[in-house]
Every structure is written in C-alpha cells, then in structure tokens.
Amino acid sequence: MATIELRDVTKDFGGVQVIHGANLSIEDNEFVVFVGPSGCGKSTLLRLLSGLEELSSGEIHIDGERVDHLPPARRGLAMVFQSYALYPHMTVFQNMSYALKVAKKSKQEIEAKVHAAAEILQLTELLDRKPKALSGGQRQRVAIGRAIVRDPKVFLFDEPLSNLDAKLRVQMRIELTNLHQQLQSTMIYVTHDQVEAMTMADKIVVMRNGHIEQVGAPLELFNKPVNKFVAGFIGSPAMNFFQGKIISANEGAYEAQLDNGAQFKFKTKAGLLNAEDKIDLGVRPEDLQPNQDGSGKIVGKATAVERLGAQTYVYLSSPIKESMIIHHAGDLDVQSGEEIEVSFNLESCHLFGPDEQRIEFDG
C-alpha cells in the first residue's frame, strides 16, 4: 500500500543543480526502475526520496501525505545499498534486527521477524556469522533481509546487483522479481543496466542530466521512445542512427535525404518540420536484415562478426555511416571483411526532428 508522488523536486549541491524539477507518480505495488547514464542523478533522486538528502525545492508525498520534512526512518521506506553497507562488527542477525532494536520492538517480535525474513532469503543458517564470512550473494541477501524485516511500504534499491558476477546477477534478478510478487510492495530500483530495467520493471524512468526524459512500461519505451536519447539508451545493442535533412515540406507530406544521398518520403502532421531541418532516422539492429525485402538498402563491409549460434551480430562499415550494428536471430554465414547488403523498412524506423524529439509517422 504505497503510492509516491514527486512534485517539482529539485536538488542542488553547492549551487550546482543536479535534479531539475522532477515530477513522477508511482502506483501502489509498482516495480519502478530508474535508468540513465552515470552521473545523471538516479542515486540523488532515490536519496531525496529516502530522506538521506534534503530537497532544495518541491514536495514528496507518500500515500498522499507530505513527507519531505520527515527523517528517513519515519517515511516507511527501506533501502538496499550498492555496497550492501552491512555493519561489519555485527552478526547477520544483529544486522537484520538493528532497525527493530532502534524502534524498541520486543525481543519476541524481533526474533520472529528476523527468522521469517531469513526463511524467505535462505539465511537461517548464516544468522550468527559476521558479514566478512559471507559470499557476495549472501551479503546481498542479508542487505535485502535487513530491508524486509522492517516491513516497509517502499523498497529502494541503488544498483544492488552491480557488485555480483554475471551469473549471480541473473539469479538475483529473478529472485528480486519473485520477492516483489511475494511481498506486494512498491519497489524502486536504480540501475544503469538496461537489461535489468527491461526485465524487472513495471515502469521505467529514463533520466539524463538531472531530467526525467520518459516514463513508461518497458515495451512502450522500446517501441515509442520520445526522443533520440531514450531511443539510443533503451535496447541492446543500441539503435543505429542515420543523419539527414528535410528537403521538402508540403502540407504534411515530407521528403528527406540521408547524408549518403538516399531519399525517402513520409507523412506526418503539417508544420512539424521545415525544409533544411536536420533529422535522425533510427533503425534498431534487429530491423536491419541481410536481405533485400525492405525499402531502404545499405551496402557495407563487415568489420567484425560475432556468431553465437542462436544469434549473429555484424558490425558494418558503409559510406552512410562508419559503424552500425546488425542483429540477426539465428546463424548468419558472414566473414569479416565480406561485403553484404542489408535492408530495412521505413515503418520500423524511428524519426527524430531537429530537437531530437520523436516524430510519429502518419499512415
């Protein structure tokens, strides 16, 4: 039971503004992921929510109540840190029970809660150990257990998996998703790994330079990125962009030319674009296919080929663009250095105007 609302939240550190008027609503039980490049303000936003940082302006509401004047512990949140931040001098049990001890809960209650959480996370055997004697994955679990014990309305995670190896990360990702289902509470999760974002989130918040760029369901972001940044950020491998310009605009019917000379026509709302406007045409690697079915064609030389059996990545160098990437489901018998032709359909492309905002094709 927790909805969260940020209203015009800003934060500056000694005059440098790092969050510029963030507005965001989070529904009850939602799994929300903040993504964005390093330094964009994800952690800061999370810390503002948690109360570890003071707002410079704006308001935060949890369940309809304003909380931005409350200390962290009275906001009903729990946080899992990137470094786990386990108290090194305390046992797992003491780590997990510390918040309850501070809150002066009874011994029985503490025992019961810690054991219940330990049960969920398979930590029962480890309760008497110190953090030093745990593996990375176990420490991670303790950090989560410490949050669960408090029965918070909202869980906050700041890149909790980034210190784990690849295999454990996949496993923990699944466990966290299961945990979310089991606990039925709101979770906010910060990462710069967009695979984590895509697989775990109900709702993704893409950030850049302290601005929220887009908020939406994973596939919504994938299919309809609102601007070039989101388009390039979501999806792996990243979208290929071709630069070009509008050569004629006529009542919603446009003609554009890419830098290599290829021309194409499209329709959209009248007045959106003018002649000479710079545009970017985005094509996802999986929409570039080694055949001649599409309307757009590109010939280039494969500079590198990664054949993984079930999928193939080809890095292509062509006059239109020095480097682009093709993703083919299945095996593709291409050698590095070979010349190949790929094609794409305009309908599967994403068009961005001079302000890098998305332009929707019309019909």
Ligand X SMILES: Nc1ncnc2c1ncn2[C@@H]1O[C@H](COP(=O)(O)OP(=O)(O)OP(=O)(O)O)[C@@H](O)[C@H]1O
Binding-site ranges for ligand X (CB under 6 A): 13, 18, 36, 38-44, 192
CB of 198 to another protein, least distance (A): 27
- Quickly tell me which residue has 């609503």 as its tokens: 25
CB of 39 to ligand X, least distance (A): 4
Neighbours of 233 (CB within 10 A): 25
In angstroms, the CA 34 to CA 110 distance is 32
Start-to-end Cα distance in the chain: 43
- Cβ closest to ligand X, residue 41 vs residue 218: 41
CB of 66 to another protein, least distance (A): 6
Q: Please compute, for residue 238, the number of CA atoms within 13 A of its CA located in the half-sphere on the CB side.
A: 13
Angle at 239 between CA 234 and CA 244, to 5 degrees: 130
CB of 18 to another protein, least distance (A): 15
* DSSP per residue, 42-95: HHHHHHHHHTSS--SEEEEEETTEE-TTS-GGGGTEEEE-TT----TTS-HHHH
Q: Which of 35, 41, 43, 152 binds Mg ion (CB under 5 A)?
A: 43
Say which entry of another protein, Mg ion, ligand X, none residue 227 contacts (CB below 5 to 8 A, set by partner kind): none
Q: Please compute, for residue 227, the number of CA atoms within 13 A of its CA located in the half-sphere on the CB side.
A: 13
**Segment interacting with another protein (CB under 8 A) among 69-77, 121-129, 176-184, 344-352:** 69-77
Omega before 225 cis (within 30°)?
no
- Cβ closest to ligand X, residue 210 vs residue 282: 210
* Residues in 116-175 at the binding interface with another protein, rule: CB under 8 A: 146, 150
In Å, what is the CA distance from 16 to each residue of 10, 20, 40? Answer: 11, 10, 13
CB of 240 to another protein, least distance (A): 39
Q: What are phi and psi of 357, to 5 degrees?
A: -85, 155
- Cβ closest to ligand X, residue 28 vs residue 193: 193
- Cβ closest to another protein, residue 79 vs residue 249: 79
User: Does 69 interact with another protein (rule: CB under 8 A)?
Assistant: yes
CB of 179 to another protein, least distance (A): 18
User: Does 10 interact with another protein (rule: CB under 8 A)?
Assistant: no
Residues that bind Mg ion (CB under 5 A): 43
Residues that bind another protein (CB under 8 A): 47, 50-52, 54, 66, 68-74, 77-79, 81-83, 85, 87-89, 98-99, 102-103, 146, 150
